[in-house]
Amino acid sequence: MSFLEPKGALLALVVAIPIAAFVIGDRRRAAVTRSLRITALPRSVRLSPAVALVVAGASLSLAATQPTLVRRSQHHVRKDAQAWFVLDTSLSMKAAAAPAAPTRFERAQALAIRLRRKLGDVPVGIASITDRALPHLFPTADLNSFVGTIRHVIGIERPPPSDGFGVRITQLGAIGRIASDNFFAPTARKRLLVVFTDGETKPFADASLPGVFHKPPAVHAVFVRIWGADERVWNGRQADPLYRPDPASAENMQALANASRGVAVDGADFNGAVAAARRALGSGPTAVVSQEQRRFQLAPYFAGLAFLPIGFLLFRRNL
């Protein structure tokens, strides 16, 4: 347990004032009782208001310190390796076999999370690609941050492409920027780029791609194709008449893999994607990284507990 605001414990000093007043009043009451020869109240009855005040004050002061249950853990993290997972967020990734079926993008999200778990100790970042590549999470060993970004941050055309809207706007050649624009840390000597896409891209011809990917330290690329010939982009239960699956997507993927000297695998071949990623990263030295996660805020419960003795005092006052 940790306390986010330790100074909140000073609130307990406020209780000293009514406690002092209670002690003085109790002594005077005892003196009057002896003078009038009246039977004194039982000690437990006389002290109950003081106990209630102490409990209420202690509960409120604990709530003010904001106690939080914390889980600390240690992870072994690769020092020499990093990976980037790039998800195609163009409109064609909204395609699915049926209106209620998982979209290509949803399948890409699931595959990315599964593959991230398989890489274990390798820091992994997340980027999206439409007509340009944009980073969303720089390489981290924190699985929760990765999953949260995949599920809640990126989405179809979020952000939208820079040159308009459409179902065929992807420019996969833009992935060269990830290899060349300092996305990877200088200490990462083993670098992996995994692209999850349907392969439906505008024509690209970039003779610089082999040089970009193989300039030391080389960036190893794995292209995971998520596509179906019978899939459509659905608006409710109506198929978008402007969209048809591109049968050349497999050729596009292979051409990009050849240009970057990478590997193209089908989304159904998950084991193949894992094997290609592991070959690219190999093994290397690790460092122990401590991680702290706040799990549970206790302040509302301590604050609520204070109402019990306060309610007792109000009830006793009305007797």
Give 154-204 pLDDT, tens digit per residue: 999 888 876 655 445 567 677 888 888 889 999 999 999 999 999 988 766
pTM score > 0.85 for this model?
no
Q: Show the tokens assigned to 188.
A: 């990462």
Dihedral angle, C-alpha 223, 242, 107, 224, nearest 10 °: -10
What is the phi/psi pair of residue 296, to 5°?
A: -155, 125
Confidence of residue 229 (pLDDT cuts 50, 70, 90): very high
Summarised one tens digit per residue, pLDDT across range 108-141 is 999 999 999 999 899 999 999 988 889 999 999 9
Query: Which residues have a Cβ under 8 Å from the Cβ of 100 and sit 6 or more positions away?
Result: none
pLDDT at 88 over 90: yes
Cα 163 from Cα 45, distance rounded (Å): 79
pLDDT tens digit sequence for 253-296:
898 898 888 999 999 999 999 999 999 999 999 888 766 565 67
Q: How far is CA 262 from CA 17, 73, 88, 118, 259, in A?
A: 74, 36, 17, 20, 8
pLDDT of residue 16 exceeding 90, the answer is no
Return the structure tokens found at 249.
Answer: 């997507």
- Residue 34: pLDDT band with limits 50, 70, 90: low
Per-chain mean pLDDT for the chain: 83
Please compute the mean of the pLDDT values over residues 69-73 and round it to a whole number: 71
Three-state DSSP at 223 gives strand
- Average pLDDT for residues 16-29, to the nearest whole number? 69
Mean pLDDT of all residues in 298-313? 76
- How confident is the model at residue 82, as a pLDDT? 97
- The pLDDT of 227-234, averaged and rounded, is 95
Cβ(195)–Cβ(260) below 8 Å: no
Domains for the chain: give ranges and CATH numbers.
2-70+296-317 (no CATH), 80-284 (3.40.50.410)
Closest alpha carbon to 66 in 291, 243, 283, 299? 299
